[in-house]
Structures are given as structure tokens and as C-alpha cells.
Structure 1
Amino acid sequence: MDRSPAQHVVLLDDEGRAVGSQDKTTVHTLNTPLHLAFSSYVVRSDGAVLLTRRASSKKTWPGVLTNTCCGHPAPGERLDDAVVRRIGEELGLRVDSAELVLPHFRYRAVMDNGIVENEICPVYRVLVDEQATLDPDPLEVDETRWVTWREFSEGVLGGSIDVSPWCRTQVEQLTALAEEPLAWPVSPESLLPPAARPTDTR
């Protein structure tokens, strides 16, 4: 049976150029190849940030508190479109757009069982109003919570809040951009890795 392109991840070379694709159900192993992903932070108009706890059934970092939503673009899919798509799929949250804030983010992390995450993973901010409603997919998310960025970032950096390894590093870098998420500057898409730079002109 043919697989949907959305079920494949984009494989990358060390310079961030696409070198193929792989079924996402097989990509995370003891020797995970470098691939393209994204992280996102949903931010309300009052500055609160949406955190999620990864579902306990997840292959990587199950049950761990993290940023709002992570995922992988399909081959040929714009990264910002993938952010909007996955936020809808995982959280039932309708959003219109996503803003690039960390175009160069990259990390590699190893679980206790040896499973590896190895991603070039640009980070996006997604703005919503205070009436935003959630309908999380239990296969993806065990818990959601809104927090102030100050409470969250101070807890993460001070060691009192445990989060995924990528989230911790992102918090360090995002805090360096600005003290509050509504003030994070937007980066141009030209700074994305080559495989993620959009080819359309919208």
C-alpha cells in the first residue's frame, strides 16, 4: 500500500540539504539519521505559553513535559504549513500562521534505552487569542497547561521543571532573544536550512 508523503521525514546532510526521505515510523533508532523537524510554542495574547506532556505511548521521550508541539514536515511541505497542520492534528487548535524565531536550531539527544533524536529543528511561535480552545489527541498528548513564560523559563533554567532535552536548550536560546515570548523577533525564512527554504513566493 502506498504511504502518504506526510508519513515520511526529510533526511538531511550536515549542511541541511535534503538527501532523501524515510518512513517516520522507522527513522528513530539507535542510529537515527539527521532529519528535518520543527518545534513550536503557542502563545496567547496575554503572553501565556501552552505546554504539553507527550503521550506515554510515544517512542521518544514518552510522558515528558515539553513545548507546545513538535513534528516533521512532509517532503515538499513548507515548515510553517507543517506547524499549522500538526497543531491542528495534535491539539485540535485552529491557527492561521506560524512565525519563525529560531531558524538554526539543531540538537541530538539520546534516551536511556539508546534511541536517538537527531534533528535540524527550526522553532516557531504561533499566536492565538485568549478564547482559543483545545481538543488534544490522547495518542499524542497526555496533558496541556498554560503558564507564564517567566515561571516556565526560570523553572527550566533553574532545574525545578524537567522538560525534554530539546525544549531546555530552546528555552535558553529563546530567553536570550527577549524576556517575553511576544517580543521574540521574527527571523527571515532565508535563514532556514536549505531543505526548509520555501520555493513559493507567498
Structure 2
Amino acid sequence: MLVDRAGRALGTAPKTSVHGRETPLHLAFSSYVFDGEGRVLLTKRADHKITWPGVWTNSCCGHPMPGEALDHAVVRRLSYELGLVAERADLLLPDFSYRAVMANGIVEHELCPVYRVLVDAPVAPNPDEVGETWWMPWKEFADAARNGLLAISPWCREQVPLLIELGSDPLTWAPASLDELPPAARP
């Protein structure tokens, strides 16, 4: 779903046309999966991905289908990419947006609300999407990401400081209101 800077829907475009050198702003999501111990699930993007192949990042990212609620898209993609069944996804950063350019000129330009998901199940990565997974204590990950000690995707690098502001324990972060979502992302 293509959006303007205010988060209003402008129409749709195939995924293949929204990740190139002239990438229009479009709706996406990022999610951070945690287990009961407060460890975050990191994923290494599959080596054949168009954007940031082989790069470590947050648990799962993706795009909603037209008319699909973002939290449903998160749950759908977690099942597809990681074999995880989640009951819900909690909205954390409703208006996160970023633009990043790869060395080859390919651009990511997304209005990308961020979600937290709690799971208690083994991960079964889909090799079409994920090269590796790594459970890491949140504080260790957040400190390493904030201090540049861990090579991660540009969107994840921007999201971590904002998540740190929510508190030290990711299991107790208060969800944001759905009313804070951009208009195109509201249910």
C-alpha cells in the first residue's frame, strides 16, 4: 500500500515495484519476538533477498495485504517466515518511518509501525526468508546495537533506541493505542 507522508493511502503497487532505486513510501511493519525470559529473536535475512541480503535484523518484517490489519499481517508473516504461532501482536511504535539506501542504490522507504510478539515455541525458519536465527538477551542486544557493536539492518538500528525508551524490560512495555497508527494502517 503506497502512502503519503501523513500516512494516508494513495493506492497499491506490486511488492516487486516498491523496492528499487526509486522506492515510493509504502506501508510495512517490523516485529520483535520475545520469549518468556526476555530474549529477543534476531534473524539473518536470506542471502538471496533483494534488500539487505545476509544482514542480521529484528525478528520479522513485511507488508500487509490490501485491507489487512497490520497486527494480522505480523502474525501471518511470523507463521510463514519462522513457523511461529502467535496469538497477538502489540503495537509499540505506531508512526516509525525510515528511508535507507543500499550500496547498490536500492532503497527501502517505509512507514513501518513496530510490534512486539511474545512466544513460547520453537522456531522453524523458512529458508526462502531467513538464513539463521539467534535468541539474545534484550539488554545485551540493545547495548550492542546502540553502541554499534553489532552489524544490523538500518531500520533495526533506528528502532532500538526508540524501544529502549519504553523501558528496560521488553515484557512490560505498554502497547500504544491503535488510534496512533497512520490513517492507512488503522483497522
Following superposition, the deviation at residue 45 of structure 1 comes to: 1.1
CA distance in 1, matches of 2:108, 2:168: 28
Q: Name the residue aligned to 2:26.
A: 35
**Match 1:125 to one of 85, 109, 116:** 116
CA distance in 1, matches of 2:27, 2:145: 25
CA distance in 1, matches of 2:59, 2:50: 18
Q: Name the residue aligned to 1:158.
A: 147
Q: Name the residue aligned to 1:185.
A: 174
Is 2:81 aligned against 1:90? yes
Gaps of at least 5 residues in structure 1 are: 1-9
Q: Name the residue aligned to 1:48.
A: 39
Matches within 5 A, 1:37-116: 37-116=28-107
CA distance in 2, matches of 1:107, 1:27: 14
- Structure 2 length as normaliser, TM-score? 0.98
* 1:94-153 Cα deviation digits (max 9, x unpaired): 111100000010000000011000000000000112xx1111110100000100011101
CA distance in 2, matches of 1:80, 1:149: 22
- Spell out structure 1 runs of 4+ moving beyond 6 A: none
Letter in 2 for 1:30: R
Letter in 1 for 2:50: K
CA distance in 1, matches of 2:114, 2:175: 11
- Structure 1 length as normaliser, TM-score? 0.91
**Match 2:186 to one of 189, 194, 197:** 197
Secondary structure of the equivalent of 2:165? Answer: helix
Secondary structure of the equivalent of 1:114? Answer: coil
CA distance in 2, matches of 1:115, 1:180: 35
CA distance in 2, matches of 1:195, 1:104: 11
Following superposition, the deviation at residue 26 of structure 1 comes to: 1.8
Percent identity, please.
59
CA distance in 2, matches of 1:184, 1:111: 32
Is 2:125 aligned against 1:136? yes
Following superposition, the deviation at residue 160 of structure 1 comes to: 1.0
Q: Name the residue aligned to 1:7.
A: none
Secondary structure of the equivalent of 1:182? Answer: helix
User: In angstroms, what is the RMSD of aligned CA positions?
Assistant: 0.7
CA distance in 2, matches of 1:191, 1:21: 22
Gaps of at least 5 residues in structure 2 are: none
CA distance in 1, matches of 2:68, 2:30: 15
